[in-house]
């Protein structure tokens, strides 16, 4: 389990955290509440036991309350969730074994064990929880079978033993089934949420990011630029004469061209770049940590690659060319201005004959915009 970085992590809204981490935080919040309730009950029952004449039993309950309080204190300082859970489970398991071996008051100690299976499955999961519960079952069976052991101070009627073990086995199986169903439903909800989130960010035809996701990333990149000075550039690409491709070869051929171009665009993009279908036959590429001159070089290499690539559809070779407008954020005070100028550069590339990049780098010494 991932360790928290501080107390603020437990107070952080779960909507801002991944689902698994959100569940871990929620479990820790519930567990802290259970610990405080357990401390209160142990102290209360311990006081009652002392007043009832069971002084030793009362002090032992106080000892377990002190252990839980110590666990809380350690967690407040170390914030180690794993240690907190492990210490709690060991304390509770030892407490229940003690109650079974001593009988508690009037041999009612084993009855507290009914709360153990659902709690352990919830805290530890199915596999580890089943291991812990099985180990406790074996110890209880030993206590029932060998009441002469030095740490066993009570005896149980054989009918009680049989009924207790049968009923607690049913509770365990029932708790296991419920927790299994809960976890399976949770995993399915997470899977569906991931699926719909992916669909909301992805263009269905090309499997590139869509306009919505690109705008979100652009805003994030602009924030990084304002905060830390990390420059970025964008290039807006248009497939030349795409309407002619649709008219001559059919819309299915046009879709095939869009898919193949998207594959080429992805293959020739860097890992940190983001390519998105901007609309129709237009594509926008975000180039983080990239100056204008670098972006122009990337765009020109892509243009040349597309010109040299054969686009095929049903044994037909379809010639594809692209035009692109390129801009760097350093020239603008907003993403809106950046996109507006990029679109104007693309329009200029079309007006000048297409199959070109605007602006054009005239010399190797062109300055970084």
> 349 exposed, middle or buried (CB, 10 Å; 0-12, 13-18, 19+)?
buried
Distance CA 119, CA 183 (A): 14
Q: What is the pLDDT of residue 165?
A: 93
Distance CA 301, CA 267 (A): 12
Instruction: List Cβ neighbours of 257 (8 Å cut-off, separation of 6 or more).
Output: 239, 242, 245, 311, 313, 318, 320
- Is CATH 3.30.70.270 the right assignment for the domain spanning 211-358? yes
Distance CA 339, CA 334 (A): 9
For the stretch 127-174, pLDDT in tens is 999 999 999 999 999 999 999 999 999 999 999 999 999 999 999 999
Residue ranges of the domains in the chain?
Answer: 8-198, 211-358
Classified as helix, coil or strand, 276 is strand
Q: What is the pLDDT of residue 127?
A: 93
Threshold 0.75, pTM exceeds: no
Which regions of the chain does DSSP assign to beta strands (E)?
Answer: 232-239, 274-279, 282-288, 311-313, 316-318, 322-328, 357-358
Q: Which regions of the chain are under pLDDT 70?
A: 1-19, 361-369
Q: Longest C-alpha distance within the chain, in Å?
A: 101
Residue with tokens 């030095």: 150
Angle, CA of 99, 103 and 108, to the nearest 5°? 90
User: What does the buried/exposed string (b/e) look like for 1-32 if buried means 16 or more CB atoms within 10 Å of the residue's CB?
Assistant: eeebeeeebeeeeeeeeeeebeebbeebeebb
* CB 328, CB 369: distance < 8 Å: yes
- Dihedral sign of CA atoms 279, 285, 291, 295 in order: negative
Classified as helix, coil or strand, 142 is helix
Q: What is the pLDDT of residue 19?
A: 67
């Amino acid at each position: 389990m991932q360790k928290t970085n501080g107390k603020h992590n437990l107070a952080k809204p779960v909507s801002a955290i991944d689902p698994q981490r959100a569940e871990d935080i929620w479990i820790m919040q519930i567990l802290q509440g259970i610990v405080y309730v357990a401390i209160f009950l142990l102290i209360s029952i311990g006081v009652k036991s002392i007043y009832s004449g069971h002084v030793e039993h009362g002090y032992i309950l106080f000892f377990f309350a002190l252990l839980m309080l110590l666990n809380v204190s350690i967690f407040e300082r170390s914030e180690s969730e794993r240690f907190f859970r492990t210490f709690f489970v060991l304390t509770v398991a030892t407490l229940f074994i003690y109650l079974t071996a001593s009988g508690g008051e009037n041999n009612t100690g084993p009855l507290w064990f009914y709360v153990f299976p659902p709690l352990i499955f919830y805290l530890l999961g199915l596999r580890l929880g089943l291991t812990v519960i099985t180990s406790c079952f074996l110890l209880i069976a030993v206590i029932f079978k060998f009441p002469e052991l030095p740490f066993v101070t009570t005896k149980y009627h054989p009918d009680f033993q049989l009924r207790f073990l049968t009923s607690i086995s049913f509770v365990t199986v029932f708790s296991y089934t419920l927790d299994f169903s809960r976890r399976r439903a949770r995993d399915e909800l997470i899977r569906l949420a991931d699926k719909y989130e992916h669909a909301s960010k992805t263009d269905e035809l090309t499997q590139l990011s869509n306009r919505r996701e690109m705008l979100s990333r652009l805003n994030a990149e602009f924030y990084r630029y304002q905060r830390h000075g990390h420059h970025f550039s964008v290039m807006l690409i248009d497939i030349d004469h795409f309407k002619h491709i649709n008219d001559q070869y059919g819309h299915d051929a046009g879709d095939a061209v869009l898919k193949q171009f998207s594959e080429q665009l992805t293959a020739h993009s860097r890992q940190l770049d983001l390519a998105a279908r901007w609309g129709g036959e237009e594509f926008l590429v975000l180039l983080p940590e990239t100056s204008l001159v670098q972006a122009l070089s990337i765009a020109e290499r892509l243009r040349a690659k597309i010109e040299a690539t054969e686009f095929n559809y049903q044994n037909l070779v379809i010639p594809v060319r692209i035009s692109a407008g390129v801009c760097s954020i350093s020239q603008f005070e907003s993403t809106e201005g950046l996109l507006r100028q990029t679109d104007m550069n693309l329009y200029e590339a079309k007006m000048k004959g297409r199959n070109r990049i605007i602006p054009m780098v005239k010399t190797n010494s062109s300055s970084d915009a």
